[in-house]
Amino acid sequence: MAKILIIDDSAIPRMVLRKMLEKSGHHVLDAADGASAITRYRSEIPDLAVLDLMLKDESGLEVLAQIRRVDPGAHVIVATGETTETARQSALEAGAGAFISKPFAAEEVLGAINALLEQPARSVLQLDRLRDACMDDADTERVFLRRLVTTAPEMLAQIRSALAARDGAKVDADAHTLKGGCYMLGADALGAACERLERTARDGDLGPAEVLLAQAEREMGRLRQAVDTYLNVQGG
């Protein structure tokens, strides 16, 4: 199941949410303020966060903005006692995937979580963009795809070496380069993983980079399988 971060400065809502989520099989982390929430998010990169708007050190909207700088694709549910339409609209405009009001029921919370987690993932291989980039030429597709699945693991290895050396500029540059090639050929899931790596390195904080790199390496494995399947179907 999912890894979920609860961010609330009140102990009782954290306990209630933890019980609901763990009973449903989720792995739960929690944070009692904005600063520790960002630290935990960067180190763990959870699948989803449940965020209160009223925290003791900063507003939930500020925390949401920081989370989205770390992970542009973050799934965040705002769960708050602020029930006004203005609060709801502000949260959604800031990038929240759902807004639920306290006191909340388990059915409402779990329904919002399931709806977000079941959204279609980034496409491993977007064939329309691949064909457009290759001008619908099958031979060119084969050449480009083979080059991508050969060079991408090499670049990920370079990023891992740069990360071990704490060379943020190198991580940034290599992730940026790989991201561009992936998006050009429709390898969106790997491209998005590289974009998250690029952003965190550019921000000067390599704390979450190890987790993000592991995600990119998993996406590389999925891409290789998709490319092998596609080329076999195409007879290449």
Q: Which residues, including other chains, have CB under 8 Å from residue 38's CB and lie 6 or more apart?
A: 63, 66, 67, 70
> What would the pLDDT profile of 157-207 be if each residue is shown by its tens digit?
999 999 999 999 999 999 999 999 999 999 999 999 899 899 889 888 787
Helix ranges (H only) for 186-208 are 188-202
Name the pTM for this structure.
0.63
- Local structure of 80: helix, strand or coil: strand
- What are the start and end residues of each CATH 1.20.120.160 domain in the chain? 127-234
Query: In the predicted model, what is the mean pLDDT of residues 46-53?
Result: 94
Q: Which CATH class is domain 127-234?
A: mainly alpha
> What would the pLDDT profile of 171-184 be if each residue is shown by its tens digit?
999 999 999 999 99
Q: Which pLDDT value is given to residue 26? A: 95
Q: Which pLDDT value is given to residue 62? A: 93
What tokens does 121 get?
Answer: 């993932």
Q: Which CATH class is domain 3-117?
A: alpha beta
Q: Which pLDDT value is given to residue 13? A: 92
Q: What is the C-alpha to C-alpha distance for residues 66 and 209, in angstroms, rounded to an integer?
A: 16
Q: Which pLDDT value is given to residue 120? A: 59
- What are the start and end residues of each CATH 3.40.50.2300 domain in the chain? 3-117
Confidence class for position 119, pLDDT limits 50, 70, 90: low
